[in-house]
Structure 1
């Protein structure tokens, strides 16, 4: 459960950081939003280091599925656009893949 919380927190931090740049560049948000974006992206990177994995690539691969699902939640909650069935089906496959990567049995290294 802690792993999932870290992944979701990292995804929210990454999305918020990228959205800050999006808002500055495409929505005319104030320049100081870039600073918020940079801080948020630093939090994202730090949170991923907390994942209990012996390989960074595996931790990042599993994160991808969580990121996709969290991005669709952002789309709905923050941007006010409800994901359609294709978004949800795609996210479901991604979460299934992330779950397999996270929970799959591993040979000792």
Structure 2
């Protein structure tokens, strides 16, 4: 999957991959996205769009990079808390939607487990 993201400062990057980092004191794994600057993302039609929360954007991108799908997805800022995902096909957008639902579901499950 080829992923383009608009940063807070208005610049665009093409996400090329990710690095896995495990700091020793915390023992938790962090994933850092690796990208390169681009002038403009590919122009995609507004036919296939989905609004996604900015708080889970990294998890969405990590899952998209691992999906192995041969498509393009562009994440354009839509305010502070959301991005608009534009995809070149309905199938690519469905993959994004499935990932969003899966991440939201896992967050609810982990929160309900913490309160019990």
TM-score by length of 2: 0.30
Structure with more of its chain in helix, by fraction: 1
TM-score by length of 1: 0.32
